[in-house]
Amino acid sequence: MLERMRAYFDLQAKLREQALESSRLTIRASAKAIAAIHRGDVKAAEAFIAEAKEGLNSLAKLTADAPELAESGIVLSAQQEYGEAEIVKAAILEGKLLEVDEIGIPFKPYLAALADAAGELRRHILDSIRANEIERAEATLKLMEKIFEFLMEFDYADAVLPGMKRRQDMVRQVLERTRGDLTLALRQQRLERALEKRGG
């Protein structure tokens, strides 16, 4: 019995180490993809997302042999980061929000990824304002509003959906700050146009 139990736990330890490696690969590649999207380097972003997807596929194979890993932070963090990269890419490049089935991750990491994506969309809006692309910023703000409205539909205890209330509050704050920034930019734009008309 002792040998059987040790063999079992040795295998669990080995699978966990392999899962950690795949998870780290996925998280790193996802972060690089988001950075590339903000730089406007679409080709690099797609390559990093493909790399992250490979890491997720490796995790899927590992969890088939060790189902208890499927709900672990190791796997959920990787799924969340990958989901965030996919959501940010589609939102910024295509102006749409991907649904959970389009990304292929479970519900919990999808919701967490949506919440985190709101912060990246704020960054994109500020970049758009600096580039004087106000219409682009307005379109992205509408996506942020959709994310917030969607997340507010999930009113569950932490035991069912851990961290959701905190994420809802975070997205609300990010949205309010971004809306304020965009309002100021719109006022500035109107003022500049009015001055130009007078000057003309």
Q: Which of residues 147 and 185 earns the better pLDDT score?
A: 147
The amino acid that residue 107 corresponds to is F
Task: Report whether pLDDT(198) > 90.
Answer: no
Provide CB contacts within 8 A for 81, sequence distance 6+. 26, 27, 30, 31, 52, 113
Candidate from 16-20, 94-98, 106-110, 176-180 with smallest mean pLDDT: 16-20
> Region 47-62: what's the mean pLDDT?
94
Q: What is the DSSP string of 63-130?
A: HHH-GGGTTSHHHHHHHHHHHHHHHHHHHHHHS-PPPHHHHT--HHHHHHHHHHHHHHHHHHHHHHHH
The answer to whether 12 and 67 are in contact (CB under 8 A) is no
> Region 32-61: what's the mean pLDDT?
96
> Region 34-47: what's the mean pLDDT?
97
Q: Which of residues 176 and 68 earns the better pLDDT score?
A: 176
pLDDT of residue 184: 92
Instruction: Please count the other Cβ atoms lying within 10 Å of the Cβ belonging to residue 73.
Output: 10
pLDDT of residue 125: 97
Q: pTM of the prediction?
A: 0.92
Note the pLDDT tens digit of each residue in 6-34.
998 998 889 889 999 999 999 999 999 99
pLDDT of residue 120: 97
- Per the annotation, does 21 bind a ligand? no
The answer to whether 142 and 91 are in contact (CB under 8 A) is no
Domains, the chain, ordered by start: 1-99 (1.20.58.2140), 106-200 (1.20.58.2140)
Considering the chain, what is the average pLDDT of its residues?
Answer: 93
Note the pLDDT tens digit of each residue in 115-144.
999 999 999 999 999 999 999 999 999 999
